[in-house]
Amino acid sequence: MEFKLQAKFKPTGDQPQAIKKLTTNILAGSRHNVLLGVTGSGKTFSIANVIEKVQRPTLIISPNKTLAAQLYQEFKDFFPENAVHYFVSYYDYYQPEAYLPQTDTYIEKDAKINEQINHLRHSTLQDLSQKKDVIVVASVSCIYGLGNPENYQKVS
């Protein structure tokens, strides 16, 4: 399935130039591209236009879960017919192990995993191995320790 952007507005201001430049760079093989802009300048909409033009699976990395959730919802609205996924750390709580030498106290590692988010992560990886029209909105901390992609392809 193709990426099909659904929006009630068109690019304005600097957006058309940014969309054209990013699209040209990506189609020319540039693997690393960055779009910079102030809050509210239309970066998300610009990237949505680029995704529609290049027709490639896309990873959007956010600095935190809160912004990732906002971006996820915006991309779901822009691409309701495509696979848009929310991919964040599955920990509701994480306490790394620690040692406090002042009191000779050892604190064990403790964690609580959110099973719903864990399920979303597995759905994301499954779609990535099976579909071409996938947008993943992820927090930066979740991309570590995912394992071997071949394992998902074997199970799929």
Q: Any idea how long the chain is?
A: 156
- What number is the average pLDDT over the span 138-145? 75
> 35 with 93, same domain?
no
- Mean pLDDT for all residues in the chain: 88
Domain that holds residue 86: 57-155
> 99 with 35, same domain?
no
- Taking residue 42's Cβ as centre, other Cβ atoms within 10 Å add up to 19
47 contacts 3 by C-beta, under 8 angstroms: no
Domain of residue 117, CATH code: 3.40.50.300
- Distance from C-alpha of 66 to C-alpha of 72, rounded to nearest angstrom: 10
Q: Which residues, in sequence order, are CB contacts of 113 under 8 Å at separation 6+?
A: 90, 91, 92
> 41 with 90, same domain?
no
> 42 with 65, same domain?
no
pLDDT at residue 155, rounded to an integer: 59
| Poorest-pLDDT segment among 5-9, 82-86, 140-144 | 140-144
Residue 156 has pLDDT above 60, yes or no: no
pLDDT tens digits, residue range 30-81? 988 889 999 999 999 999 999 999 999 999 999 998 999 999 999 999 999 9
- pLDDT over 90 percentage in the chain: 58
Backbone φ and ψ for 146, nearest 5 degrees, come out as -80, -20
More confident residue, 57 or 151: 57
Q: Which residues, in sequence order, are CB contacts of 85 under 8 Å at separation 6+?
A: 72, 120, 123, 124, 127, 134, 135, 136, 137
Residue 152 has pLDDT above 60, yes or no: no
